[in-house]
A and B are shown apart, each in its own frame.
Chain A
Amino acid sequence: AQSVAQPEDQVNVAEGNPLTVKCTYSVSGNPYLFWYVQYPNRGLQFLLKYITGDNLVKGSYGFEAEFNKSQTSFHLKKPSALVSDSALYFCAVRDRDGGYQKVTFGIGTKLQVIP
């Protein structure tokens, strides 16, 4: 079984400040990890992924995420938040060793960037 936890329903941050959106995961084997962003009435857009190698991965729009195997975490970060970053963010996991293609999503974290 695989699962994702996003412990914060909402994160508020002032424009220009760094932001972090938290994610922890659970898989039987090794994980593929993803972050997606969703704007109102739209589908999800891919931001970045962790496959293997460097624990810090960089993605679209200046976002990055840090994989921590011991803490089973994959937190999303950005050094300086923009108002346009306000959206719903989803962390997702797929068990690399599970033989399945299903990607499991968290419940999402609403990011509000305050001007």
Chain B
Amino acid sequence: DTGVSQNPRHKITKRGQNVTFRCDPISEHNRLYWYRQTLGQGPEFLTYFQNEAQLEKSRLLSDRFSAERPKGSFSTLEIQRTEQGDSAMYLCASSLGGQVGSYNSPLHFGNGTRLTVT
């Protein structure tokens, strides 16, 4: 278990640019989540995958945000035409799911990607 890996750790970009973050979950985990956390707030749910299928999306996820998990392994989160309000920590988490008793599996978080939009 090497843990959830997120890259890059930090990203500074200018308003209007596109950015892409990557998440590598724990290898045997079939569920993957993206959350956003701003200062003084708890993580806010963005989207969730089971294998390669994106099953839930938050209304927070505007059209400028897109997430993929093409082979059911790593995932990418892209933000187009970034705005200053997108500045936040983007957290990825993974868990086991789909088996009996797996609904209570805890989330395993990566260390996040901190995005600063100038």
> Which residue numbers of A lie inside 8 Å of B, CB to CB?
4, 32, 34, 36, 41-46, 49, 51, 90, 92, 94, 96, 100-108
Contact A42 B42 (CB under 8 A): no
CB of A94, distance to nearest CB on chain B (Å): 8
Interface residues of chain B, those whose CB is within 8 Å of chain A, are 4, 6, 31, 33, 35, 40-45, 48, 50, 55-56, 58, 91, 93, 97, 103-104, 106-112, 114
Which A residue's beta carbon lies closest to that of B111? A43
The list of the 7 closest CB pairs from A to B, nearest first, reads: A43-B109, A105-B42, A46-B106, A44-B109, A51-B104, A43-B111, A107-B42
Assess whether B56 is in contact with A101, with CB atoms less than 8 Å apart. Answer: yes
The number of inter-chain residue pairs (CB within 8 angstroms) is 65
Cβ of A107: which chain B residues have Cβ within 8 Å of it?
40-42
Q: Could you tell me if A41 and B103 are in contact, using CB atoms closer than 8 angstroms?
A: no
Please state if A101 and B111 are interface contacts (CB–CB under 8 Å): no
A88 to chain B: closest residue by CB: B42
Q: Is the CB of B103 within 8 A of A103?
A: no
Flag if A105 contacts B43 (CB, 8 Å). yes
Q: Provide the residues of chain B in CB contact with A34, threshold 8 Å.
A: 106-107
- 29 A-B pairs with C-beta separation under 8 A: A4-B42, A34-B107, A41-B112, A42-B111, A43-B4, A43-B6, A43-B93, A43-B109, A43-B110, A43-B111, A44-B91, A44-B93, A46-B108, A90-B43, A92-B42, A94-B103, A96-B103, A101-B33, A101-B48, A101-B50, A102-B45, A102-B56, A102-B58, A103-B45, A105-B42, A107-B40, A107-B41, A108-B40, A108-B41
A30 to B48, CA, bound (A): 21
Q: Which residues of A lie under 8 Å from residue B109 when comparing CB positions?
A: 36, 43-45
